[in-house]
Amino acid sequence: MFFRLLLLRLSQLISEVVNIMPATLSSRKARLVKSSFRCTRDVHWIHQDSWEAADVSGRTRRLLLGGGKLGPQAAGSLWGLVARRWLALPEQLRALSYIRPASDSGTCAGGALFFLEAAPARPTATVTRQVHGFRVLTYNAGGITTAVWDELMIYLPSRADIVVLTESHWELDREFQVADWHVMHAGLSRRQAGVMVLLKRNLFHAEQIKHSVLVSGRLLHVRLTLATEVLDILACYQHAWNGYLETEAKQQLLNQRASFWTHLSMALRNMPRRNRLLVMGDFNARCTPFDGLVGPGTLHRFHDEHRDDNEFQHLLQANRLCVLNTWGRRAATYESDTARSQIDFILQPAYQVRSVSKHCTVHTACPVAAWRGGGRHFPVSTVVPASRGRPPWVKGEQGLSTKDGQRIAEWLKANRTSEAAQRFENSVSQELGLLTEYDPKQVNTILLREGAKLLPRRAATGTSIAGSLRGSITDMWLWYKQSRTRQSPNPLQDCLRRWAARAKFQSMHRAVQAAGRRKRRERYAGILRDAEVAVQSGKPAALLQVIKRLSPKIPKRRWQLRSEGQLLGPQAAIEAVSTFWRQIYQAPALESTETAVQLSVEERDIRDALARLPSGKAVPAHYAPSVLWRLAAGPLAALAHRAITGCWSAGVSVPAVWQAAWISFLPKSAAIPRSPGDLRPIGLLDPLGKAVLSHLKRLIHPTVARHLREVPQYAYLPLRSTHQAIARVAAHCRKGRSLATAPRPKLVLRHRGLPPRRCSGAIQLSVDLRKAFDSLDRGKLFQCLVRAGVDDSLAHTVLQWHQQVSYYIRLDGHESHFLTGKGVRQGCPIAPTIWIAFLDLMVDLLKGRLGSGGGEWIRNNLTCFADDMHAGLLVHSEEDLNRSLEELGALLSAVEALGLEINPAKSAVLLRNTCSVPSFSLQPRTANYVIRMATVDSVVLRSMESPDRQIANFFRVTFPDSASALQKDPEDEPPTKWQRKDNKGNKGKGRADSWKDYKRGWQPNPTRDEHELVQAMGRLLLKHEDQLRMLETDRSWVLHFDTSGPSILAHFWKAAEGWRQQQKSDQAKLTASLRTTLFACMLLELKNRLLKTVADSELLAVMQGAGYYQNQVWMYQKWNAEKSEVEIVSEGPGLTQSQLIQDLDKLLDLVTKESVVHRFHGTRPLAESYQSPALVFLLTLTLRPPHVEALQAVMGRLEGCAALRLIGTRLRRERMGRQPAAVQLSKLMSHPGSSSRGNAWPGY
């Protein structure tokens, strides 16, 4: 190794001397790349494009690459060049003496591994082994426009495999694919923030990716389920700090930042420890060196440091996160004209960190968006090795996909030749002829092998817009680099050169932007031309593809199941889905019966069924595309005919693979599925078995359709369509509206004999069945087919086919399998025929429940479409309405009698009628009337509804007060004895009373006015109560003190007694009120117990065992109403000991001020002992400035803190509930007759 390096240096020196090329020396010299692996580890190969990521010290470069001791005057001299190289040789030899051999591909010096990389034009024979892992990069883009996006698409592919971009300023949550990347984005509606994760498409498959937006535009979680490990990525963007805000705005900003820290902490705690974890982004916070977590490569803090930087530091320490880009040289990740900061980080759990990952690079020379003014961020990148010894993205061999089948079909259609198809059929026929018996796996393998030969070469796709601008953008970056590089020793000349380069860079930027806009317009114009061609040629499928290209990118609804809010891995997701659907299909399995049948299935029938398979029909993932089964219809039909003839002669025996279905799930709604119930299963079948079953359907379906001519089923039957079903329902709605809105008969017509229209309208019921096809009883399958006229042999064959149906669920290499006991297979071609035959069984049952006129009722009122039913009836009288309700009930009972389940959320009853039934006839049926009659004190007024109405009306007008008096309670009646008035005259002062001022001793009460007045007063009182309670929530708290254990109620009793004695003896010495004294006593006792607990290891162990003190922080707790106990809250950060002591000191200083504590007392008087287990104290603090902000902040942190258990209390904020008196008043106003005196509020 020593002589190899020496000869290499001498050869370079001779080459440079002979050719006199000092300007190209850097491209001819060997490069020394440092890797942080130990000598026993694999060599890490640094890619040519990421050469700048190598962290090589300046002294090592000078020693091994050459460095001179001569001055700059010999720079342009040939002899100066020789002298510099010659004088540097001894130092290089001394450096090489410290290098010992480490492997075939590198050398090791001082524990660091080196290897040589020759110039690209002259590669060496050095063999290197690649360290498998990921190149990760995080970058704050400061707003991603189309111009910035084009630059990123050129800059990123050669530098990273996993990229986190922050501050995109995009609004929507998106998931899409571009040329090289899978893109997941979390946006914000206000066009700010926004985080994005980009994953290399050639390394990661779309099925491996799951993502979840934890905080809109701020926190995005992406989970990669790879072949050997699971990788979790958290993309973060914290709220930017602004120290120039006002106090209120600054506090709001601090609250927003605290909320982000809380969500990030919760996400970190919920990450499985077995998964790899990467946390990247712009944290807008600084950190300080900490043993093993934060390295020495951090920038020094300045006077404008963030007020919550300690939160970020605490987050790192609590979760043991290592900041990877703090272990090298100090480098700012953000730089402006006035400030430099280090706020972009790459974090990883300390137990997962490998030494190579700590050699991060801050790309200060990044040219992306360099044309922007102001401050800018720099990308931060590193290499994260895989946890296993092979690439984690390596997958097994993939078969031909459905898209490959479409490519084959399109190629055959475009070439209009049958030669390739004939060759394929002949090859398949020869391979199948070698099989002695039917083997589905061998058949599929043959089709895949021969189909791979038929697959056309993928046509070269047009480059993306960014790719077409690659040369221009690269030239622009070159001018930018020249504008920042100092080359000439003459300052003026160098300044003019850099100014010219900057001007050229800006002009190139404008040209690139204009070219990008032009190419986008050309792309849209090309898409529109393709749409016109598709319309003119009458190809709706091609037009649909053009529309998809032109439409905005829509989020992919890839199902991402969760449990307790966390993403499930593939194995857990498979188990959850299998458990859910196994419960649905759970039923007693039918006994397997084999019956000898005379079933004729010809070879041409199977061939025709295979030839009818659509080219783009989906098949199971491991099967050959349907177009290959269609092309090989002849030899496959012959093979299937031989198999069927051999096994069906003695009895129907269906191959297990024909009975199976591989389930693929589709989302039910636009939202991303979170649970198994949000998924709709689609069964994918074996194509050959599906073809045989399709032939059986062609034999059965005409018979069933003839039998159902009278059944109003408008799906799956010939000459019936959706339009007919909609027309029937619309006609019923039109008739119902006309009946309900028809004018009433005039009086003249009624005198002529036209009967009055008492009640008219319409009623309709829509029924949606829940999982109807999945709930079908297989025990009735043979019965319903035979009733429909199907031959017994065909019915037995279909029954045998469904006796042992099995479902397979696959996800990312995991598979689950279970048998089903009921229902028909999803995606089965004969399932619709079985369903309509089963519907005939339900119609027959409904006829029996409706009686003799059941058949006519079904034909006129029932409409069915697949598993949806609608019944509409017209109402002409009350009798019709009652009869309609009974008939609808019969329909529902018939449905449930067959084991089908009605979905109440999607079923509805609509009633529209015009009934002239008087309200007093319905009054005796109402609850209010019955209750009032049961509690009434007077029934005199009921006589006014007697036949003597005229007499009653006469006396009601003559004596109006008597009617109102009869409505009063006995307590409101006049006294039996007149009270003598205390009327002694005016005693000579003023005018005497006149007769017009005279009133009797008792007058009738104006009840209506009084009741309205009381109602208004009650409403006003309740409104005031609500306003006061809302105010109390901001200034009042409730404390629940335990009367036993570590309670301080005894201290309260002693303090209160001492205060009272001092008040009696010398009141002038009292400096605080009793409430302030007790509150200060509580704070002092809590502080003393906190200090004692931390100092005493036994007490601290007790607190840790109870869960109150964890990870050097005091946790929070809350009351669980269901369990009636206090439980620890695991979410959210706790409160450190130092912060808690600081808060108590601040609170003690504040409460000693005048008029800060407005209330602090118990709901019961203080005593030496208590019988009840708890005593409630009420605390009210001031809302006056300047203490309100500090008080609210401290009390907010103490609320629910488990440290208060040291004094046996719990603190919570006052709620908005009304006081008991207000609740009683509200009840009296809502139910006036509910008082203890019976009808206390007559007339209501």
C-alpha–C-alpha distance, residues 991 and 26, integer Å: 124
C-alpha–C-alpha distance, residues 287 and 974, integer Å: 85
Please state the pTM of the whole predicted model: 0.53
The two three-digit tokens of residue 414, written as one number: 């475009």
- Tokens 């109620």, located at residue: 1049
The two three-digit tokens of residue 111, written as one number: 């524990």
- Position 240 in a domain: yes
Per-residue pLDDT of 1079-1113, as tens digits, reads: 889 889 888 888 888 888 888 888 888 888 888 88
DSSP SS3 for 306: coil
**Quick one: 919 and 1044 in the same domain?**
no
- Position 1195 in a domain: yes
Per-residue pLDDT of 659-704, as tens digits, reads: 888 888 877 766 667 777 778 888 888 888 888 888 888 888 999 9
**Quick one: 296 and 174 in the same domain?**
yes
E-strand spans in 927-1016?
none
Maximum Cα–Cα distance across the chain: 143
CB 140 within 8 A of CB 282: yes
CB 1041 within 8 A of CB 1047: yes
Instruction: Please report, for residues 56, 708, 775, 846, 891, the alpha-carbon distance to residue 896 in angstroms, rounded to integers and kept in the order given.
Output: 78, 21, 11, 11, 9
**Quick one: 929 and 1034 in the same domain?**
no
> Nearest 5 degrees, angle CA 427-CA 432-CA 434?
105
Give Cα 160 to chain centroid, integer Å.
Answer: 27
Number of domains in the chain: 4
Burial class (CB within 10 angstroms; exposed 0-12, middle 13-18, buried 19+) of 973: exposed
Residue type, 772: A
Secondary structure of 908-944 as H, E, C letters: EEEEEEEECCCHHHHHHHCHHHHHHHHHCCCCHHHHH
Give kind and range of the element (H or E) at residue 465: helix 465-468
Give the structural domain span for 1055.
1019-1224
Instruction: Residue 160: name the closest of 195, 197, 134 by CA.
Output: 134
C-alpha–C-alpha distance, residues 569 and 271, integer Å: 12
What lies within 8 Å, CB to CB, of 1036 at 6+ separation is 1159, 1178, 1179, 1180, 1181, 1213, 1214
Pairing of strands 660-667, 806-811: parallel
**Quick one: 1105 and 1204 in the same domain?**
yes
CB 570 within 8 A of CB 814: yes
C-alpha–C-alpha distance, residues 968 and 959, integer Å: 16
What is the share, in percent, of the chain residues with pLDDT greater than 70?
A: 71
C-alpha–C-alpha distance, residues 698 and 1132, integer Å: 63
| Gap between the terminal Cα atoms of the chain | 107
C-alpha–C-alpha distance, residues 514 and 511, integer Å: 5
Instruction: Residue 187: name the closest of 195, 175, 179 by CA.
Output: 195
C-alpha–C-alpha distance, residues 322 and 343, integer Å: 14
- Position 907 in a domain: yes
Among 899, 933, 967, residue at a domain's last position: 933
**Quick one: 341 and 244 in the same domain?**
yes
Per-residue pLDDT of 548-582, as tens digits, reads: 777 766 656 666 676 666 667 777 777 888 888 78
Could you tell me the pLDDT band of residue 796, with boundaries at 50, 70 and 90? confident
What is the share, in percent, of the chain residues with pLDDT greater than 90?
A: 10
CB 278 within 8 A of CB 348: yes
Instruction: Residue 1141: name the closest of 1205, 1213, 1088 by CA.
Output: 1088
* Angle at which helices 419-433 and 633-647 cross, to 10°: 30
Residue type, 399: G
Per-residue burial over 508-525, b if 16 or more Cβ lie within 10 Å, else e, is bbeebbebbeebeeebee
Residue type, 970: P
Which of the pair, 27 or 268, is modelled with greater confidence?
Answer: 268
Pairing of strands 562-563, 162-166: unpaired
DSSP codes of every residue in 843-865: HHHHHHHH-TTHHHHHHHHEEEE
Ranking 226-235, 320-329, 348-357, 646-655 by mean pLDDT, the lowest is 646-655
Half-sphere exposure of 355 (CA within 13 A, CB side): 14
CB 685 within 8 A of CB 827: yes
- Position 1229 in a domain: no
C-alpha–C-alpha distance, residues 382 and 278, integer Å: 11
59 pLDDT above the threshold of 70: no
C-alpha–C-alpha distance, residues 100 and 118, integer Å: 20
Give the CATH number for residue 269: 3.60.10.10
To the nearest whole number, what is the mean pLDDT of the chain? Answer: 75
Instruction: Residue 226: name the closest of 384, 348, 380 by CA.
Output: 384
128 pLDDT above the threshold of 70: no
Cis peptide bond N-terminal to 975, omega within 30:
no
Note the helical H segments in 67-196.
78-97, 146-155
Instruction: Count CB neighbours of 874 within 10 A.
Output: 18
- Position 699 in a domain: no
CB 1156 within 8 A of CB 1072: no
Among 383, 408, 426, residue at a domain's last position: 383
**Quick one: 499 and 379 in the same domain?**
no
**Quick one: 916 and 1026 in the same domain?**
no
- Position 760 in a domain: yes
Per-residue pLDDT of 343-387, as tens digits, reads: 999 999 999 999 888 989 999 888 888 777 778 899 999 999 876
Torsion angle, alpha carbons of 1039, 1045, 1049, 1050, to 10? -170
DSSP codes of every residue in 1082-1093: HHHHHHHHHHHH
pLDDT of residue 610: 86
756 pLDDT above the threshold of 60: yes
pLDDT of residue 460: 47
Give kind and range of the element (H or E) at residue 882: helix 878-897
**Quick one: 476 and 357 in the same domain?**
no
Per-residue burial over 705-720, b if 16 or more Cβ lie within 10 Å, else e, is bebbeebbbbbbbeeb
Instruction: Count CB neighbours of 800 within 10 A.
Output: 22
Could you tell me the pLDDT band of residue 923, with boundaries at 50, 70 and 90? low
CB 312 within 8 A of CB 369: no
Backbone φ, ψ for residue 693 (5° rounding): -70, -30
**Quick one: 237 and 379 in the same domain?**
yes
Among 363, 383, 403, residue at a domain's last position: 383
**Quick one: 1056 and 1168 in the same domain?**
yes
Residue type, 280: M
**Quick one: 339 and 475 in the same domain?**
no
CB 641 within 8 A of CB 604: no
Note the helical H segments in 208-349.
247-270, 309-319
What lies within 8 Å, CB to CB, of 1234 at 6+ separation is 1227, 1228
pLDDT of residue 99: 39
CB 714 within 8 A of CB 721: yes
Per-residue pLDDT of 480-502, as tens digits, reads: 777 777 666 777 777 877 787 77
Note the helical H segments in 38-77.
58-65
Per-residue pLDDT of 1190-1227, as tens digits, reads: 888 888 888 889 888 888 888 888 887 787 788 888 87
- Position 530 in a domain: yes
- Position 566 in a domain: no
